[in-house]
């Protein structure tokens, strides 16, 4: 009898456009080295190094201990939607109806819902390059076309109304903005945001504003698109500022006219976000939790102020001062010809994990690296010491 063989995989054509998230692969390699006994300084990670605040953990534990963990409404528990509306009123002085706030599985779930209800095949979305890598893949997943906009230090690594006008075509459906940005930490200026929104709306386009790093800014605070328009999709998350990456919880503020469509898609794609995470997050807005988060923000500011000058001193060039998130996007062309090789060598030879530019787009990835400054000051200093030694040995 012939032995049965598996049929060849028939993977959808779109998958050839979905690149791996290199930083995850680099993290796996760093973890394998650690398992083999090496000490690695982590400057590649995209999450805070703090534990989830205790009041959140306790609230979730109390909920789970009661023993019943059913589905919640698809759009989230009403108390959490109301708490987020209050947060907008207190922090941004804007009124957002709780009915427009949809609880999601992280910012990732929110981006998928927004793009799912907006994108017809062939619709173009403009995205900053360098920028958050998953966005172009989300657009592609819905058969849209991601259109990178090259941003650089001259525009503070943020897209402007002029970029929108120059790149716009009749197929352009919208623009995805991330401010503060991953990987550059840059922040769109308030007036530039106002101009960008009006340029987009003049062309009947839609802004998706990813505000996941709001709260993590170090000089000026970030403006929300909600301050200027009710027609943007605003994405946010409990992952970064609230220190809840693994809980998978975020939210999407939806323009009124799209609410029913988002609700239908949320019901089908996710049923609901994690119930324990939602009940835990109710404690995220308590004044004592917010005080704790503010203290953490100050710690991150100190860490940035240690790493930024040290990188410049090593010979990296940082063209725009990072103003938020916890990343520094550094040009390494004075030190190496290829950032991916440099990342590999820094990990293997110096025990320092850093993310290569290739994750963030097509604009000079070979000459850029992303450093994350979530590690504490002594670990950052140790990483700098090891890099100095590595570059000195090569000289």
Both tokens of 131, joined, read 């920028």
DSSP-assigned beta bridge partners for residue 366: none
The correct pick among 23, 41, 46, 330 for binding ligand PLP (CB under 6 A) is: 46
In this structure, the chain runs to a length of 395
Closer residue to ligand PLP, CB minimum distance, 278 or 350:
278
For residues 106 and 351, which CB has a smaller minimum distance to ligand PLP in the complex?
106
- Which range touches ligand PLP (CB under 6 A), out of 103-111, 162-170, 287-295, 386-394? 103-111
Contact 320, 363 (CB under 8 A): no
Please, what is the minimum distance in Å from the beta carbon of residue 130 to ligand PLP?
A: 11
Among 56, 107, 284, 387, binds ligand PLP (CB under 6 A): 107
Decide: is 269 part of the binding site for ligand PLP (CB under 6 A). no
**Which range in 22-30, 90-98, 102-110, 378-386 contacts ligand PLP by CB under 6 A?**
102-110
Binding of ligand PLP at residue 250 (CB under 6 A)? yes
Q: Alpha-carbon distance 263 to 246, whole Å?
A: 24
Rounded to a whole number of angstroms, the minimum distance from the CB of residue 325 to ligand PLP is 7
Which listed residue (49, 210, 331, 359) binds ligand PLP by CB under 6 A? 210
Give me the least distance between CB of 241 and ligand PLP, in Å please.
11
* 372: contact with ligand PLP by CB under 6 A: no
Residue 212 touching ligand PLP (CB under 6 A): yes
Q: How far is the CB of 187 from ligand PLP (least distance, A)?
A: 13
Choices 59-67, 101-109, 146-154, 291-299 (CB under 6 A): range interacting with ligand PLP: 101-109
8 A C-beta contact, residue 348 and residue 40: no
User: What is the footprint of ligand PLP within residues 227-246 (CB under 6 A)?
Assistant: 237, 239, 245
Shortest distance, position 239 Cβ to ligand PLP, whole Å = 4
Cβ of residue 67: shortest distance to ligand PLP, in angstroms?
Answer: 28
Binding mask 155-194 for ligand PLP (x = CB under 6 A): -----------------------x---x------------
Q: How far is the CB of 51 from ligand PLP (least distance, A)?
A: 16
Of the two residues 177 and 336, which places its CB atom closer to ligand PLP in the complex?
177
Provide, rounded to whole angstroms, the least separation between the CB of residue 132 and ligand PLP.
4
Nearer to ligand PLP, 108 or 302 (CB): 108
- Which tokens hold the place of 74? 């698809």
- Using CB under 6 A as the binding rule, whether residue 108 contacts ligand PLP is answered as yes
Residues 102 and 254 sit within 8 Å (Cβ to Cβ): yes
Told to check if 146 binds ligand PLP by CB under 6 A, we report no
Q: What distances in angstroms separate CA 337 from CA 185, 341, 342, 368, one per listed residue? A: 24, 8, 8, 10
Counting contacts by CB under 6 A, is residue 72 touching ligand PLP?
no
- Site of interaction with ligand PLP (CB under 6 A): 46, 106-108, 132, 178, 182, 210, 212, 237, 239, 245, 250
């Amino acid at each position: 009898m012939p032995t049965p063989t598996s049929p060849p995989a028939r993977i959808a054509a779109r998958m050839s456009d979905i690149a791996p998230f290199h930083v995850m692969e680099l993290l796996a390699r760093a973890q394998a080295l650690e398992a083999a006994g090496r000490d690695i300084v982590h400057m590649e990670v995209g999450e805070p190094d703090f534990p989830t605040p205790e009041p959140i953990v306790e609230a979730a534990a109390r909920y789970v201990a009661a023993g019943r963990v059913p589905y919640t409404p698809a759009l989230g528990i009403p108390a959490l939607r109301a708490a987020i509306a209050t947060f907008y009123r207190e922090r941004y002085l804007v009124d957002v109806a709780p009915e427009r706030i949809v609880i999601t599985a992280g910012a990732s779930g929110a981006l998928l819902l927004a793009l799912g209800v907006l994108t017809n095949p062939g619709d173009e979305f403009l995205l900053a390059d360098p920028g958050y890598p998953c966005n172009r893949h989300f657009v592609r997943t819905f058969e849209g076309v991601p259109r990178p906009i090259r941003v650089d230090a001259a525009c503070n690594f943020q897209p402007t109304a002029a970029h929108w006008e120059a790149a716009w075509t009749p197929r352009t459906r919208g623009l995805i903005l991330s401010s503060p940005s991953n990987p550059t930490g840059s922040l769109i200026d308030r007036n530039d945001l106002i101009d960008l929104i009006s340029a987009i709306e003049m062309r009947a386009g839609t802004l998706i504003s990813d505000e996941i790093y709001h709260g993590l800014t170090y000089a000026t605070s970030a403006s929300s698109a909600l301050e200027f328009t009710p027609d943007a999709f605003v994405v946010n998350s409990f992952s970064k500022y609230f220190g809840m990456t693994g809980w998978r919880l975020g939210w999407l503020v939806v323009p009124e006219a799209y609410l029913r469509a988002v609700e239908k898609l949320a019901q089908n794609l996710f049923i609901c976000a994690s119930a324990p995470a939602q009940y835990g997050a109710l404690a995220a807005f308590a004044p004592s939790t917010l005080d704790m988060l503010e203290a953490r923000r100050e710690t991150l500011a100190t860490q940035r102020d240690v790493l930024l000058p040290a990188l410049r001193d090593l010979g990296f060039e940082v063209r725009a001062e990072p103003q938020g998130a916890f990343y520094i996007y550094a040009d390494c062309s004075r030190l190496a010809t290829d950032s991916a090789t440099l990342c590999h060598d820094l990990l293997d030879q110096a025990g320092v994990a850093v993310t290569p530019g290739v994750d963030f787009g097509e604009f000079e990835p070979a000459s850029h690296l992303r450093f994350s400054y979530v590690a504490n000051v002594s670990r950052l200093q140790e990483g700098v010491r090891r890099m100095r030694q590595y570059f000195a040995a090569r000289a």
